[in-house]
Amino acid sequence: MVVNTLVVLEVFYLFNVRYLNVASMTLCGAAGTPAVLAAITAVVIAQIVLTYAPFMHDWFQTRPLGIQDAALIIAMGIGFMVLLEGEKNLMRRLGHVDLR
C-alpha cells in the first residue's frame, strides 16, 4: 500500500508542478503533454502489474489491494493536490511567485 501511495502522490505532484503561476486543476492542466501522459500511463500499468500480478507477489512479497485501500490512496492523492494548489495560491498572494 505504501508503494502505491507514493506512486499516486508523485503522479498528482507531477500534474501540480506543471504550472506554478496558475492553478493546475483545470482541463488544460489535466490534459498534459503527450510525453507526460505516456509516461504516466506506463507508470500506472507497471504499478497495476506490481500490485495485482501473482508472480510479482512472489518476487516482491506483496499482495493485491482491496477497493477500499485503492480508494483511500486516490483520495490521499486528491487531498495532496488540493494542498499543493493551496500552497501555490498562498505563494502567489504573498508575492513569492514570479507571475511573468
What pTM, to 2 d.p., does this model score?
0.80
Mean pLDDT by 10 residues, the chain (100 residues): 94 82 70 82 94 93 93 96 90 74
Specify the pLDDT at position 5: 96
Structural domain boundaries in the chain? 2-93
Specify the pLDDT at position 29: 65
What 3 state SS string does the chain have?
CHHHHHHHHHHHHHHHHCCCCCCCCCHHHHHCCHHHHHHHHHHHHHHHHHHHCHHHHHHHCCCCCCHHHHHHHHHHHHHHHHHHHHHHHHHHHCCCCCCC
Closest to 17 measured CA to CA, from 36, 3, 34: 36
Specify the pLDDT at position 70: 94
